[in-house]
Amino acid sequence: MLSGLDLEYWLVNHPTIRNFSWRPGKTLGSSPHFLFFTILSYLFSTFILPHRIISSSISPQLIKTISAIHNIFLLLLSFIMALGCLLSTFHHAPHLHWIICFPPHTKPTGPLFFWAYIFYLSKILEFADTLLIILTNSVQRLTFLHVYHHSTVVIMCYIWLQTSQTLFPAVLVTNASVHVLMYAYYLSCALGVRPRWKKLVTNVQILQFYSSFVVLGVMLYYHFTGSGCSGVWGWTFNVAFYLSLLLLFLDFHKKSYGASSINKNKLAVKSSKPFFSLQENH
């Protein structure tokens, strides 16, 4: 078992973490060109590649195994990122005000920005979520919400680092914690166990957006009543992004868990069992 001091070393004070520095154009993934081509490649592979040829060449059992490994890895990574960022905040925040509002001209260095960088890279890794949907032929799960979320969240994380954006630690810890729950659900599905708390995952995702707006409001107060906060123009992008995601998730919640949707699903189960299985497939 790791002690508190061991955790502090491996997640906060390890030289690689403590000495991290985001250097535009030098750090891996730090150029606008990398960001552009990464998102373009994701969209191309999602909409252009011949999915049927790819999916038919891999056995369902192998896809299940890949899915389980993918979900275990992201579950553990999400937990480590949340814990690492939380511990880094406690150890490096000079005061509570600093957590809500980075001082102007804050440099993107140190443990907090290391975890922001890992989080940024993890969002690229999460593109594999879409690949797994394609491989299982679950086309109906390839929604606008899914593709929009995966492609745009990478931009948000890039802006965090590029602008030393205020508030990203709170968003990182919250989002990574939600993803622990989400990937635990997906892992259970990949292992053939269908949890009954699917709706909880969506509800928690929606709750994180509501809480984000509350904290963003507090940040604005500090920004306009003090000397300002770092990365405010990046914050404006986040507001638009969070609002769009909130509206899309609320629409998804209504369609998935509304009365008409429940009745439709019951009818689908009675009339077509294979259709139901496809709908519920990870």
Residue reference for tokens 């929604």: 143
**In this predicted structure, what is the pLDDT of residue 49?**
72
Q: Where is pLDDT greater, at 281 or 81? A: 81
Q: Which of 225, 226, 81, 97 is nearest to 160 (CA)?
A: 81
Give me the mean pLDDT over the 256-281 stretch: 45
pLDDT category of residue 278 using cuts at 50, 70 and 90: very low
Higher pLDDT, 60 or 172: 172
Give the pLDDT score at 51. Answer: 65
Nearest residue to 35 (alpha-carbon basis) of 148, 146, 158: 158
* pLDDT value of position 263: 53
- pTM to 2 decimal places: 0.89
Residue 34 has pLDDT above 90, yes or no: yes
CB atoms within 10 A of CB 4: 8
Q: What does pLDDT average to over the chain? A: 87
Residue 98: pLDDT band by 50, 70, 90 thresholds? Answer: confident
Tens digit of each residue's pLDDT (9 = 90 or more) over 118-170: 999 999 999 999 988 888 877 777 899 999 999 999 999 999 999 999 999 99
Share of the chain above pLDDT 90, in %: 61
**Nearest Cα residue to 88 out of 159, 6, 169:** 169
Q: What mean pLDDT do residues 209-217 have?
A: 90
Instruction: Report the pLDDT averaged over residues 238-252.
Output: 93
| Maximum mean pLDDT: which of 82-96, 128-142, 152-166, 210-224 | 152-166
Is 70 exceeded by the pLDDT of residue 233?
yes
Question: What's the pLDDT at 5?
Answer: 77
Statement: residue 265 has pLDDT above 70: no
Q: Residue 53: what pLDDT?
A: 61
> What average pLDDT does this structure show over 28-54?
88
Average pLDDT over residues 164-186: 95
Percent of the chain with pLDDT over 70: 88
Number of neighbouring beta carbons within 10 Å of residue 2 = 10
The pLDDT-based confidence of 276 (bands split at 50, 70, 90) is very low
Among 13-22, 56-65, 95-104, the range of highest mean pLDDT: 13-22
> What are the residue ranges spanned by the domains of the chain?
4-280
Separation CA 128–CA 145 (nearest Å): 16
Q: Give the pLDDT confidence score for residue 271 in this predicted structure.
A: 38
